[in-house]
Amino acid sequence: MFKIKIAGILIFSLSVVLSALSLYINHVNIANANMLSSLNAKKELSQEVSKNIFYIYKNKHASTKQLEYSIEQFIANINKQEKEFKEFAKTDSSLIKTQNDTMINLWNEFSHHVQKFTDQNKVNTAYTNIILEQTIKDVYNTNLQLVMEIEKSISMYQAYFFNSLETYKTVQIILFLLLVLLLIYLFLQMKDLMIFIQKFLDASKKLIANATIKELKPVKLNNTNKEIVEAGNNFNFFINKINDSVRHSSHSLNLATHSLESVEKNIEDFIDLLYIAQENKQRDKDLTKKEDAVIQSLEEVSISIQRLKELKQDLDNLTSSITIKKS
């Protein structure tokens, strides 16, 4: 039972650890998906801002509402991304930390060029047109570099998450295999225990149903479990004691029956002698009384013999027909 308790505690502990590890892996997967989704959104927004800038540059009288909306979305996404980068800055990967810094600098630079364009676009002179053209080139080059760095970041994050998950999944598989082995061990231990309990219940049912121990057999144990072997030996010892007691009682009844039969035979012989004596001489009153007492004793002995035989028959019905040996 001690081994079963230890196995149960270990199974519970492993189940808790596996559950916690599964939750953590799920959390990492969600974080990975969010990070990659945010990076892709950042790439699309920067391209959207660049496209609107080029469109406004070519169409001087076009509305800037779409550009303003794209810039607003881009800035909001930057703030969100910086928070996520701060979380990943806690990792031990120097490459990720360096890449995070590069991305933040590029976003700030891109935002600076975009803001510069919106300011310059409000003034329409020959000089500002030259400066505006240079700003457009800066926006284009920065956006191109930003897209390349985003693709690099996506590959880097995917590799980082993959390596991290591989370690956790390896641990998860090892813990799962240990859990399976413990469950198999517990099943084998419980199987032996259930077999013993079933044998005990079967023996009890036979004893109650038949009101006899004639069919009662000792429990055969093929087990190394100390507690089960001890319980089985105690049960078999109890059966042995019952059968030994019944056999001894049966033997004693046999001896008593034979003794009474001998007494009965002697009394019959004595009565025969009395009848012979009666034929040879006159019977007196004392002899008659003695004869009556002897006849009454004979009747009582006969009744006792009959009762002993009936009791012997009852014991024979209880006595086991097999020789029981303690296992």
DSSP labels for 55-74?
HHHH-TTS-SHHHHHHHHHH
pLDDT at 213: 57
Asked whether residue 184 falls in the same domain as residue 252, the answer is no
Q: How far apart are CA 287 and CA 293, in angstroms?
A: 10
Asked whether residue 94 falls in the same domain as residue 159, the answer is yes
Paired tokens of 100? 């995070």
Query: Of residues 72 and 210, which shows the higher confidence score?
Result: 72
Residue with tokens 């927004």: 45
Predicted model pTM: 0.54
Asked whether residue 7 falls in the same domain as residue 108, the answer is yes
pLDDT at 322: 39
Q: Is 220 a member of any domain?
A: no
Average pLDDT over residues 304-312: 69
Q: How far apart are CA 239 and CA 9, in angstroms?
A: 36
pLDDT at 133: 84
Q: Is 131 a member of any domain?
A: yes
CB 18 within 8 A of CB 172: yes
Paired tokens of 52? 């609107």
Min mean pLDDT across 23-37, 61-75, 159-173, 309-323 is at: 309-323
Binned at pLDDT 50, 70 and 90, residue 320 comes out as: very low
CB 201 within 8 A of CB 285: no
Asked whether residue 61 falls in the same domain as residue 162, the answer is yes
Q: Is 166 a member of any domain?
A: yes
> Does the structure show a pLDDT above 70 at 16?
yes
Asked whether residue 9 falls in the same domain as residue 66, the answer is yes
Mean pLDDT, the chain, as a whole number?
74
Q: What is the DSSP letter of 215?
A: T
Q: How far apart are CA 113 and CA 254, in angstroms?
A: 120
> Does the structure show a pLDDT above 80 at 19?
yes
CB 189 within 8 A of CB 224: no
Q: Is 323 a member of any domain?
A: no
Q: How far apart are CA 159 and CA 163, in angstroms?
A: 6
Asked whether residue 234 falls in the same domain as residue 89, the answer is no
Min mean pLDDT across 142-146, 180-184, 270-274 is at: 270-274
Q: Is 199 a member of any domain?
A: no
Contacting residues for 106 by C-beta, under 8 A, at least 6 apart: 142, 145, 146, 149
Q: Which residue, of 129, 158, 188, is where some domain finishes? A: 188
Asked whether residue 290 falls in the same domain as residue 235, the answer is yes
Q: What is the three-class DSSP state of 137? A: helix
Q: How many CB atoms lie within 10 A of CB 307?
A: 12
- Name the most confidently modeled range: 54-68, 219-233, 283-297: 54-68
Q: How far apart are CA 74 and CA 47, in angstroms?
A: 10
Asked whether residue 140 falls in the same domain as residue 49, the answer is yes
Asked whether residue 155 falls in the same domain as residue 27, the answer is yes
Residue with tokens 């089985």: 232
Give 177-189 pLDDT, tens digit per residue: 999 998 888 887 7
Asked whether residue 181 falls in the same domain as residue 246, the answer is no
Binned at pLDDT 50, 70 and 90, residue 327 comes out as: very low
Asked whether residue 145 falls in the same domain as residue 232, the answer is no
Q: How far apart are CA 198 and CA 235, in angstroms?
A: 13
Q: Which residue, of 188, 211, 238, is where some domain finishes? A: 188
Query: Of residues 30 and 228, which shows the higher confidence score?
Result: 30
Asked whether residue 309 falls in the same domain as residue 170, the answer is no
> Does the structure show a pLDDT above 60 at 143?
yes
Q: Is 62 a member of any domain?
A: yes
Residue with tokens 């609107």: 52
Average pLDDT over residues 229-237: 71
Q: Is 194 a member of any domain?
A: no
Q: How far apart are CA 154 and CA 152, in angstroms?
A: 5
Q: How far apart are CA 220 and CA 315, in angstroms?
A: 25
Tell me the chain's radius of gyration from C-alpha atoms: 52
- Name the most confidently modeled range: 55-69, 99-113, 223-237, 301-315: 99-113
Q: Is 198 a member of any domain?
A: no
Q: How far apart are CA 312 and CA 252, in angstroms?
A: 9
Total domains present in the chain:
2
Paired tokens of 317? 């019905």
Contacting residues for 80 by C-beta, under 8 A, at least 6 apart: 38
Sign of CA dihedral 140, 145, 146, 148: positive
- Name the most confidently modeled range: 115-124, 136-145, 156-165: 136-145
> Which range marks the domain in which residue 86 is found?
2-188
